């Protein structure tokens, strides 16, 4: 097991040190913010979504602990070029994994590296912040809004 733990730790640190898809999307059509007051993690997500609900571009900014930052970096890599529908399936899988459920490891990609977090309730919020924020972005876009002023807090999560 510890070999896997080391591998997962290495994936998390790699994303933390060299975060993917950082920055802004100048022609974004939805921008939302998320925060995790328990840890002080903050994220802004900017997405360019086309008419078919496909995420053409996605970037993040903000700051936080290694778990939250790695989670955002991995998430943006998995979502870019994919549809909201595919994103929602991944979101449900991450939620299930955080509750200790069985998941399709192949479909999860590097997200599997965050599995160990499920044993630490406080850190689950760090790992879920990016996904909760993405969920808000989908809701805003699908309601025809651009996300202006929309903020989600992990404190509101059940």
Contact positions vs Zn ion (CB under 5 A) = 39, 41, 65, 68, 126
Min CB(40)–Zn ion separation in Å: 7
When the beta carbons of 67 and 150 are compared against Zn ion, the nearer one is 67
Min CB(94)–Zn ion separation in Å: 15
Min CB(47)–Zn ion separation in Å: 22
- How many angstroms separate the CA atoms of 38 and 154, rounded? 8
Helix (H) or strand (E) holding 132: helix 121-142
- How many angstroms separate the CA atoms of 110 and 18, rounded? 15
When the beta carbons of 28 and 72 are compared against Zn ion, the nearer one is 72
Contacts with 86 (C-beta within 8 Å, 6 or more apart), sequence order: 79
Residue with structure tokens 């002023």?
Answer: 149
When the beta carbons of 16 and 141 are compared against Zn ion, the nearer one is 16
């Amino acid at each position: 097991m510890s070999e896997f733990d080391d591998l997962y730790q290495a994936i998390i640190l790699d994303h933390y040190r060299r975060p993917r898809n950082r920055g802004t999307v100048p022609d974004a059509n939805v921008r939302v913010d998320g925060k995790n007051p328990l840890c002080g993690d903050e994220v802004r997500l900017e997405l360019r979504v086309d008419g078919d609900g496909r995420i053409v571009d996605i970037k993040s900014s903000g700051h936080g602990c290694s778990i939250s930052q790695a989670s955002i970096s991995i998430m943006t890599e998995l979502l870019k070029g994919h549809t909201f529908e595919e994103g929602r399936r991944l979101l449900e899988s991450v939620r299930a994994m955080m509750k200790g459920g069985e998941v399709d490891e192949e479909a999860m990609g590097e997200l599997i590296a965050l599995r160990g977090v499920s044993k630490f309730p406080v850190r689950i919020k760090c790992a879920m912040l990016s996904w909760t924020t993405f969920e808000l972005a989908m809701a805003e876009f699908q309601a025809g809004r651009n996300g202006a002023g929309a903020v989600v807090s992990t404190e509101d999560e059940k």
